[in-house]
Amino acid sequence: MQNLNQDLAHFLEQLTARGVSANTQKAYSSDINDLLGFLSDTKQSLDLEALRSWLYRISEAGGSKATLARKTSAIKNFTAWRADSGLADQDPALRLRSPKLDRPLPKVASELSLAEVFDRMLSQATVDNPVGLMNHCAVELLYATGMRVSELAGLDLSDMDHDRQLLRVTGKGNKQRMLPYGLRAKDAIDRWIRLGRPALEIPSSSDALLLSSRGKRVGVRQLYDVVANQLATTTLGSVGPHTLRHSAATHLLDHGADLRAVQEILGHASLATTQIYTHVSVERLRSSFEQAHPRA
């Protein structure tokens, strides 16, 4: 068991070197430690039978499919790494199956409801209200680019290419990609940088694009609250920034964008992840047909 604990420490170090996020590492560490505790309590070796017993115990205790899938993924990554590193003769999780998850369609705001949100935010984005200028800029950028809220919070002024209307974001695994944005977002950015940011900037603001009312880099939690408050007036209710990401992807496909282009914009490693939005578009088409066609 001591060797397994040492292997886990080295595995986490390897994840850090690969640029895996701290949240993912924390989840892996928690799940694998849970398994190691189970092996210690039951005096079992790390083999397929023990893995199945461990997952069965979690299921019997009320663990959801999502929990079982997450734990299975963590263990499969760990045991595969041990085998590849020569720390184990074989990978005991090769035949371990992950439960299939029911993937609900993502929530998407209508174009009309978002237009109303942006019009209201624009009216509040005045020179006397620098936070309103920042809020408007943030929400416009989230929808214009489909970026993650963590990517937006990490943007610096040096990431902006104003002339070409491009910005550089750093996504999962520290992978960078260039994202275009439209005229509405450009206007919001220009107004924020020209009228809002100077009013909030302090010596320690550094190069951060978006600033809080205290002049510090804006945080993910604050951005979440801004979006939730603004979207609370729509039929979706108080939903977070990922809804703007879902909406951007779906609206792009609705207007004829190529699926692979949307994949690049969202920063998805797999096209299969992006394909969920094609289902959203089909469902929206079906809904419109049923409401509008006289013989539906």
Round to whole Å and give the CA distance between 112 and 98: 40
Helix H or strand E segment including 74: helix 65-84
251 carries an active-site annotation: no
User: Would you call 224 a catalytic residue per the annotation?
Assistant: no
> Crossing angle of helices 183-191/130-145, nearest 10°?
150
Among the listed residues 28, 143, 181, 277, the single catalytic one is: 277
| 83 burial level (CB within 10 Å; 0-12, 13-18, 19+) | middle
Nearest C-alpha neighbor of 239 from the set 123, 121, 114, 57: 114
Burial class of residue 143 (count of CB atoms within 10 Å of its CB; 0-12, 13-18, 19+): buried
Q: Which residue in the block uniquely carries the two structure tokens 């849970």?
A: 34
Q: Which residues pair with 228 in a beta bridge?
A: none
Helices (H) and strands (E) counted in the chain, each on its own, are 14, 3
Out of 107, 184, 186, 242, the active site residue is 242
- Per the residue annotation, which of 148, 191, 217, 251 is the catalytic one? 148
Q: Where are the beta strands (DSSP E) in the chain?
A: 160-161, 166-170, 176-180
Residue of 76, 197, 217, 245 with catalytic role:
245
Single out the catalytic residue among 107, 168, 172, 186. 172
- Is residue 277 flagged as an active site residue? yes
| Cα gap 220→215, rounded to integer Å | 15
Measure the CA angle with vertex 8, ends 84 and 38; round to 5°: 110
User: What does the longest C-alpha to C-alpha distance in the chain come to?
Assistant: 70
Q: Is 162 among the catalytic positions?
A: no
- Is residue 284 part of the annotated active site? The answer reads no
Q: Is residue 148 flagged as an active site residue?
A: yes
Any idea which residues carry the catalytic annotation? 148, 172, 242, 245, 268, 277
